[in-house]
Structures are given as structure tokens and as C-alpha cells.
Structure 1
Amino acid sequence: MIHFNADTRTFNLILHSSYYAFQADADGHLVHLGWGPRPANSDELLISGNAGYETSNFHRDQQTRRDELITFGDVVYHEASLKVNFPTLPATLSPEEAPHLPIRDVRLRYVSHTIVTDARPGLAPEHGQPTANATSRKTLRVLLQDPVQPFRVTLCYRLTPEHDIIERWLELENSGDAPLTIEQCSFGTLHLPNGVSELTSVAGAWGREFTTQRERLSIGLRIIEHRGVLTSHAANPFVLLNRPGQAWEESGTVYFGALAFSGGWRIAVEQLPSLDVRLHPGYNPVDFELTLPPGKTHITPALVCGVSPNGWGGASRRLHAFAQNYVLPRPPRQPAERPVLYNSWEATYFDLSVAGQIELARKAAAMGVELFCVDDGWFGGRRHAHAGLGDWTVSRDVFPDGLHPLVAEVQRLGMKFGLWVEPEMVNPDSDLYRAHPDWVLHFPGRPRTENRNQLM
């Protein structure tokens, strides 16, 4: 449920066992009020509005105010979620101010809000297939405007109440006549209750993937990031946070967040001297620049976040259920459970033959396998790892009569047939690369960068 109190300009997002609340204060700042578990079987709105924050001679309110989107501007010197370069002067300034260009000061104020059922984040799954749950979900869209610059930001909150999930993303709009440059962009700012300072993340390498890292935050900035073009076992865009010593596998309050984005990403976790904890999850600002032309809007991917009152395991189950019901494709004829799969790679590597694969298929069928997959080596000149990748035609050296005899036998045994492919990679020693060397990622005039004898 999304509830708005017009008198206090307070928003309450009520989910199955958690809530999230914020308020447009008297000056138009969108200020976070609270996020956490709510009493079971209670329909009461937990927060009616009181956007208080610390002010003193030593802490300006801009440093401790819990803005729903912390922007680079004013005198904010802590981490910001959004930095923008404006190439022109606001209309209120005289031309004498031009030496100060570009201007990087962003100050957003509340304008209006709407509740819709058809909003989608950027890079949302477009697999064209239905999902297990096609129920429309409500999205709160809160419009903010810079008072002097032609720049508008819509903060989006899509609720999946049964899984205690909120998807957050931004829509950045250039309403002016000159291009803007986005220098840094998180998909929102998350504020955690004071004392939530134990951080869990996962990282690793081949053979030790998803190694749990659990640490106590200190004052300052902790960066979890990946600078490549895809998420890997080296780092994963996912975090858990809880009070130290107060969460376990099946109990305790745990906050969680995951990015629905697998490019260059970063999650910045900052603990202030006041012991407030903030998260800035989004695009990695390293070598990042997004040009926003006049009249255009950029929609970021989503930050998927929530609260579990059932420990780390409860957080995992909420994310699993969310992905299974709302993200993964579920074609009408697809069985409820994935088929049991056998992959031939470890048994044969590149030493493929029709007879050998049929022998493996018969053994797999006897074990109850439902999908038999032939791995690397079935195509082109791919007899080893140094050549042939990218030439996706059946090798007549390995399968003189094509794949049909093997496919027919696999199907006769009652299994489905599958093939391994890696379409994004190519060997330099391949017909594809010799015909189209310009197709791979490279810097002009530089040697191509190889990894595992492959180019991308």
C-alpha cells in the first residue's frame, strides 16, 4: 500500500512485514523518515511525519539531513548519489558569472507525485515471455525539480508487498536547451537506522566463488565495485546489513539490496561521524560520463531492496521468490521445475565423437537426466581452445552426418537436446575474426586484448 498524508506531505510505503517512509519538508527537501520491520498483522501507518535531523554549530543540516537522493551541491562534502555538470548559467545569473562554468551544484525540491501501475525501470527484462506472476504492481513516482536549472528527477518506488521488496530507480530529465553531463549516478540513496553497521558481501575467484565477507563498518567509505562489463565471481552487486551480533541465518532484522544491473557498478557504503549509515548503489563513476541531450530522459536500472525480520536466510528467500515470480521468464508450456541437465564437457573436453556422445547420453538417460547438452567442440575447427571459437557451424570432422543422428538418439531416450554456445567471444584463429576483425572490442591502432586466447 502507498499512503500519502497531504497535511504533513508524508509518504508511507506499507509492505507485508516492513515499511518505508519519507516526507517532503517545508523547504521541499525529500527527507527519509524510517525503514524497517512493522508489527505483524498491523495496518497502522507507523510514521505520520517528523523530518528531524541533527543541526549544530559543528554539523550543518546538509551533512546529516537524510535526503532520499543526496546530490552534489550546496556544502555537502560526504558521498553524493548524483553529480551533474550544467554547461550554462541559470537565468537568474549575469554573464559575469560565466567563469564559474560548468556549474556542478544540484539542489532538488519536491514538485508533485503520482501512483501508477505500468512503470518500468531501465534495462528491465525484455525477454518477451510471461513471468510466473503477472500481477500489476503499484509504483510511486515523486517528481523533483532544481529551482534554477533545467533539470528534473523522478524518484520511482515500485512495491512488491508479498516479498517485502521495493525497486528504486531514477528518471533524469534535461528540460533545457543544452546537453547536460551526468558525472555520477546512483539509483537512489538508502538510509539505515543508526547502529546497522555489520556489512555482508560476497566475492571470490574461480573455484571459490561467492565467498562471504562479513565486516564491521568504520567511519568513512567502504566501496564494493566491479569495473568490468559484466558481473562476475570477483564481485557481486549485493549487500546485507544488520546490527552487529543481532542477526543470524533465521532470526534478526536484516536490510538487503541488489542491483538489477551487470555493467560497471558500485555500491558505496558510508558511515558518518554521527554513525548514520548510507548506501549509494548504482553506476560505477570510474571512467563514467553520461551525456543527456536537451529534451531527453535517462531511466536507470533498478535497485532491489528490502528488509527481512527473519535473518540472512529470510533476505535470500525474499530475493529468490521475487526473481522467480517477477523476473525469470515462464513460458506457458515450460514445466514448473527446470529439467535435470547433463553436460558432456567434463567427460570428453574437446575429444568429441558421435559414438562417444551417444554412449554418454545412454548413461545419462539411465540416471534420470532430462536434458542432454553437448558442450564445447561441436563446431568449426574447434579441436582445442586456441582456434575455431566463433565459427558456429557443425564440424563435419566430428559429426560427419551432422547433429541429426545424435539428436534423434537423445530424443529416443526420452531427453531433450541442448548445445553449448558462447556467442560473445571469438578466437583470433577463426573464420569469423578473419572476416570481421572490426567486430571485436578494441582501441583503434592498438593490439587487441586477448584473454584465454579469446577476444570479445
Structure 2
Amino acid sequence: MTILFEKNTKTFHLQSKNTSYIFRIVKNGNLAHLYWGKKVNQYNGSNEFIFAERSFSPNPDPENWDARYSLDTLPQEYPAYGNSDFRNPAYQVQFENGTTITDLRYVSHVINQGKPLLADLPATYVESIDEAETLEITLVDELTNLKVILSYTIFNDFNAITRSSRFVNEGNSSLKLLKPASMSLDFQQNDFDLITLPGAWARERHIERADLRSGVQSIESRRGTSSHQQNPFMALVGKGTDENHGEVFAFNLVYSGNFLGSVEVDQFSNSRVTMGINPFDFNWLLKAGESFQTPEVVMVYSSDGLGAMSRTYHHLYRKRLCRGNYRDKERPILINNWEATYFDFNEEKIYEIAKKAKSLGVELFVLDDGWFGDRNSDKGSLGDWYIDKKKIPSGLDVLADKINKLDMKFGLWFEPEMISPDSDLYREHPDWCIHVPERNRSEGRNQLILDFSREDVCEEIIKRVSDILEKNPISYVKWDMNRHMTETGSASLPPERQRETAHRYMLGVYKVMERITTKFPHILFESCSGGGGRFDPGMLYYMPQTWTSDNTDAVERLKIQYGTSLAYPIISMGSHVSAVPNHQVNRMTSMDVRGHVAMSGNLGYELDVTKLTENELQAMAAQIKKYKKIRSIIQFGEFYRLLSPFSSNDTSWIYVTENKTEAVFVYISVLAIPNAPFKKIKLNGLASGKKYYIEELEKSYYGDELMNAGLNINHSHSDFSSILLTLKEI
């Protein structure tokens, strides 16, 4: 790993083990992009810029420069708008005189070992300075003294580069930051497909692949969160790229609020990628001497298809984004009472479920919504974080202690960012919610959003949540967030800063999460937002796993979990077995399928075990016993997708340990097909020369045979069938 700067040609060359990223300072200080892709050992300019005079592409400095030179045709690193480039800019500012024209030029750069933290924002990190190198380039607009520092970090052990930008107002006047993208990158080609992860509540992160076309294609959220509807991930891939072959250029924003990612194909078939905070309804007042830090984008290159891209993200996020005591620990098997009882429970019922679950091998009981205030429905009490003595008369500490004495951990649900209009907290502080004066306060799930842009609100919530966690033996917290942002404004901000509210809210959420997770390092935190509405890298920095979706139907979960795996590690996915008929889609699926899908993540259960039949109890106990044997392979192994639910009736994947000595193979068939053809599937990720014993088949095969000749799959005569096989080197 190294970052090289060639003084004669003013070329930067960022090299990792398998990747090169190259750009150059041209003319009077513009930064122009040359290459990102498979590693080049030594770059000597084989793909130099070609300059040609183009009609309607003006020259920015006609007195001194060649007429063939225009920013409209130059592949750039961080472009502006208005001084000869008509494409999407990376940034835009407005000065006190109302103008928006800037001209950033290179001034200096520094190269340092390691990776600095980002102020007040989640980001990837290093544990030793020799794991990465960071290049910081300072650009300055001489007329206004606006300074922008572009940061590039390249990792040694990952084919990943992170980029971010920091704006510093070194002028004498205030300015407004209108658009602060974290990165921009120009490709001198457009023969790509665009892959994104759109969805909806209970239908998150479905894979969509489309031709790149002229004009702008984008993904974004204006909802105050990263959202169910879009995910801050996108990838440009070659036309023939699949799981194992072809080039991938992927982008993932480490941020949990409003975002925008776009690809613009221009008149000359160049493609410009831009990603960062959404400029919609955003501006930031930057006074003289103040600075603004953007979130980082994690950029991953793969020359070996989508599978290699995913494994890079999985390794990086699991080891250098997630933090805390649970980062490298196996995750406990849990049972959650939500779909078992909803709000209708008492102390005896909770203990009954926990005791029965413990007898089956469950390790953690989670008490979900309804334990606090006067919470018998979703119509009140959010913000009143004190125990409901009518439901739990002995107290939360006594109940948790009783469950702990079963040799079982105890977990609790919170929704700290929300407030109910029918709550003591709202009656005491009606201005503590996100709102606009004299405007209607829209409600979602009968609730409003607390204004985490306010210091007093953040401190009060830290106090209330900490009080519960300090006084009770709690080992797990599910942190939920169940509505999106409307009437976005803050009573604590002046008029000129109202459009800062959404980002300041997100900074407040991060601050509260940092304080609480640091204060209680023994607690495993799982983030949630109506399920997977905030499944993004920003959340994983504070909470190493996420409730993948409120939809627990095994068939729907195939697409949700498959799509999520494009960028996010398996150990970050909460996945539960629930009752049938399923509560979201009313589908009846087998216990095997429900178990095998839920075991393809962090296994949990979301049902009333006291009502199961003897056969169901035996099946559940067998699943738990099996999962305990294989969970380290699933949670820490390398993941290979084999069959996609988006293109097939069947879905398959395999987990392989890093030393390739063990593997877990899963195959799910949704609907039975009459007189179906015989099936075989080629495995992946195994070692060709190793011989593997398949316990369930009582047979042994070499890795090359399983990967090249394939494995026969038994014909299914019923809907919703599945196979789980364990492989071990002999």
C-alpha cells in the first residue's frame, strides 16, 4: 500500500494490494481523474487526457489557456458549476452578494499514515496506522478564501477507498453551503449497468439493475433517514458482470439521513458519479472561521464480479466500521415477544415465554414495545421511559433478574428519537419535537420526532435511557425509529439556519448513540427503523447489527436478505422465525424454510413458544442446536451468493470459513414444479484440493468437484422446501 506523488507530472497514484486510483493536477490547479481499477504497478500516462476544441464547451481562461481546454470536457475529481462545466457539480456555495460562482484550485497536499476520525460523524477506522494511508488535498478559491480539503484514504488489506470533503470559510464574510457532496468521480465511458437497492417498508433492498442512459439517474432520500425506499448504495458494473466475473465500481455513503447519489451521462458518453448529503431543502450557514465536514463514501472496486465486491464490504464493515465488545463475538440467539403478544402482555406471560424458550436453547429474551408509561397501543407514552407497573408490578429489575436466573440474558426495546403527543414529556415540552410554528404537525404511527438538533433534548434522552440501563440488568437494546420527517424545522434555530435542521438532527442522533453505546459497552445494540428503514453504514458504526425488516415471512426475506448482502455483512442482519400464517403476508411456510432463512443471519424467534405443537417445539430445539454449531461460520465466514431469488424460483448461498475448512450451504425452493427437471448447483468459495465431508449426506467430495461438477439437489414435491448442508474438511 502506498500513495505516490510524481512531481514532474503532478500525478497522484493511490495503490492498495489490488487497486489503483490515479488523478493529476492540470493547468492552473484543477484536479483531473485518470484511472480507478485493477492495480497498475507503475503509471506512465498511457491513457493521457485528449484535449480537443468542442462547440459550446467554453474555455475558462481564454487569455492564457489553450482553446481546447474546457472544464466541460475534463474528467474531474471535485467539479464546480458555472465556470465552463455544465454538468452536475460536486458542491455549490452562495456568497453574501448572492453569487454562486467558485473556482477551487490546488494549493497543497499532505500524505499521512493511518486514517483520521471525522468530526461528529461515523466512519471507517484503522487500529494501526500502517493499515492505511490518507491523502489530504487543499483547494482554495482565491477570491473568497473558501478552502476545501479533499480526503482520500486507501486501505492495505481491502480494495476500498474512502472519500470525504471539508469546507473551511477563511474569508471575512459568511457564506451558505448549498450542496456539499462527499465525492465526485468522472468515468470516460458509459457502457455500464447501474445497480441500486430500492424498496418499501416490509420490502426493503430489492436489487434493481438498469442500463445507464443519457442524462441523470439518481437515488435519494428526503425523509430524514436513509429510508426503506432507497439505500445509500449504488454500483456501476460492466454489461457482462455477474457474481464471479466482471468489473464493479461501488459507492456506499456512511450516513443515516437525507442523501443523494447520482450518475450523469453527458453528451460525450462520460459518466459522472456524485454522492453525499441531499441538497434538497438543505443549506448550511458557514460563518467566517467555521468549517463543515461531509460524511464519507466507501468506494469498492472489484475485477471479479459482485461477489468479490460484497466480500470486500463485508470484511471492511465487520472489522473496521462496526465497533464495541460485540464486534468479534458470536451473537446470541434471541426471542422477541412482539409478534407473540404485541401490547397485550403481563409479567407472568413474559416470564412464561422466556422460561419455555430457555428450555429450547434460546439465550436472550427481548421485551419489545409496551413496557413503559401507559403504553397499551401505539397511541401514546413515547418519551415516558419509566416502567408500567400495571403490566410489570414487580418492576423491570425483578423481571430481568428472574430471566437472568434462567441463565438467559435480558433485552429491551426503546424508541428514543420519538415522542407521543399523548405523553407526559410532550405535555411538558411541546416544542421539543420537529415542527414549524403555526403549521400542522403531521403524525406517523401517532407520533412525532424529537428535535435532536437541540442540546437540551439530547441530554434529556441520554439521561432517561441511561437511567433504565443503569438500574436494570440489560444485555441487549433494540433501538427503533418508526416515522419519517415532516414539517422539518426547529424551535431552537434562527430563520437563517432552519434548513440545517435535518442534518443537525442526524448529528444529534449520532451524539446520543455515541454517548449511550460508549457508556454501556456490555450491551449489544441493534438498530431498527420500522425494520430496515435505516440499514446503512452510519448505523453500523454505533450498533453492529440491524433488524433487517419488519417482514418476517421467509419467502419475502429471501429477496430482502439477498439484496442486503450486496453491501452489508451477514452478521449485521437480524433474522427471526415467526408464526404461521405470517403476520405480514398471511403465508403458510414450513418450519424448515423459516428456520433456514432465519439461520442465514443472526437467528431469533418472534412467536409465542407456549402455543407451539410438540413437533414445532422439537423442530425449534433442533434448529437452535444446529445453529449453535454453525453460527460462527455464518456470522464470520465469507459469503457467496449462488442463486438469486430475483431471477429464479430457487435461492441459494454458501458460507465458507476464511481458512476454507468448513462451510454451510443453504438451498431454498419456493414453489413445487410438476415433473420438474433435475437440478444441480455449483458451489463456490471452497478450496479445490481439500476434501469435504457433508454431514447430512454422509458423503465426501473434493472442493473442485463440488465447484465444477456441482451437487445434485433432491427434487421437491411440496412448496416451501429447503436444504441446509454442513461441509467440513477431512
Consecutive unaligned residues in structure 1, runs of 5 or more: 88-100
Equivalent in the alignment of 1:192? 187
Given that 1:122 and 1:301 are in contact with CA atoms closer than 8 Å, whether structure 2 keeps it comes out as no
Structure 2 vs 1, CA of residues 275 and 122 (structure 1 numbering), >3 Å: closer, same or farther?
farther
CA distance in 1, matches of 2:27, 2:200: 50
* RMSD between aligned residues: 1.9
- Quote how far apart the aligned CAs of 1:193 are: 4.7
- Quote how far apart the aligned CAs of 1:419 are: 0.6
1:425 to 418, 425, 430: 418
Given that 1:106 and 1:146 are in contact with CA atoms closer than 8 Å, whether structure 2 keeps it comes out as yes
Equivalent in the alignment of 2:621? none
- Quote how far apart the aligned CAs of 1:118 are: 4.8
Residues 371-401 of structure 1, C-alpha deviation per residue, up to 9 Å, x if partnerless?
Answer: 2110011111001111222211111100111
Query: TM (normalized to structure 2)?
Result: 0.57
Equivalent in the alignment of 2:5? 4
Equivalent in the alignment of 2:102? 106
Q: Pairwise mapping of residues 33-432 of structure 1 onto structure 2 (< 5 A)?
A: 33-38=34-39, 44-48=41-45, 51-58=48-55, 60=57, 61-87=70-96, 101-116=97-112, 117-125=114-122, 134-136=127-129, 137-244=132-239, 246-331=240-325, 336-432=329-425
Structure 2 vs 1, CA of residues 265 and 177 (structure 1 numbering), >3 Å: closer, same or farther?
same
CA distance in 2, matches of 1:435, 1:239: 44
- Quote how far apart the aligned CAs of 1:147 are: 3.2
Between stretches 405-414 and 419-428, larger displacement belongs to: 405-414
Query: TM (normalized to structure 1)?
Result: 0.90
- Quote how far apart the aligned CAs of 1:57 are: 3.2
Equivalent in the alignment of 1:94? none
Bigger share in helix:
2
**SS of match in other structure, 2:332:** coil
Letter in 2 for 1:380: G
Corresponding residue pairs, total: 433
- The share of aligned pairs that are identical, in percent, is 35
Consecutive unaligned residues in structure 2, runs of 5 or more: 58-69, 450-730
Equivalent in the alignment of 1:32? 33
Equivalent in the alignment of 2:628? none
- Quote how far apart the aligned CAs of 1:58 are: 2.2
CA distance in 1, matches of 2:44, 2:183: 21
Residues 238-270 of structure 1, C-alpha deviation per residue, up to 9 Å, x if partnerless?
Answer: 0011122x2111221101001111221101210
- Quote how far apart the aligned CAs of 1:121 are: 3.0
Residues 8-30 of structure 1, C-alpha deviation per residue, up to 9 Å, x if partnerless?
Answer: 11100001211100011232211
**SS of match in other structure, 1:390:** coil
CA distance in 2, matches of 1:49, 1:292: 42
Structure 2 vs 1, CA of residues 123 and 48 (structure 1 numbering), >3 Å: closer, same or farther?
farther
Letter in 1 for 2:81: F
Residues 313-341 of structure 1, C-alpha deviation per residue, up to 9 Å, x if partnerless?
Answer: 2222211211111111122x876222222
Given that 2:190 and 2:265 are in contact with CA atoms closer than 8 Å, whether structure 1 keeps it comes out as no
Structure 2 vs 1, CA of residues 47 and 199 (structure 1 numbering), >3 Å: closer, same or farther?
farther
**SS of match in other structure, 1:250:** coil
- Quote how far apart the aligned CAs of 1:447 are: 2.6
1:450 to 443, 451, 454: 443
Residues 197-236 of structure 1, C-alpha deviation per residue, up to 9 Å, x if partnerless?
Answer: 2000011112211111111011101121101211121111
CA distance in 2, matches of 1:264, 1:191: 23
**Greater RCO, CA 8 A, separation 6+:** 1
Letter in 1 for 2:17: H
Letter in 2 for 1:329: R
Equivalent in the alignment of 1:91? none
**SS of match in other structure, 2:419:** coil
- Quote how far apart the aligned CAs of 1:66 are: 1.1
CA distance in 2, matches of 1:201, 1:47: 35
CA distance in 1, matches of 2:269, 2:292: 33
Given that 1:25 and 1:51 are in contact with CA atoms closer than 8 Å, whether structure 2 keeps it comes out as no
Given that 1:197 and 1:277 are in contact with CA atoms closer than 8 Å, whether structure 2 keeps it comes out as no
Residues 290-309 of structure 1, C-alpha deviation per residue, up to 9 Å, x if partnerless?
Answer: 11111122111111112012
CA distance in 2, matches of 1:385, 1:47: 64
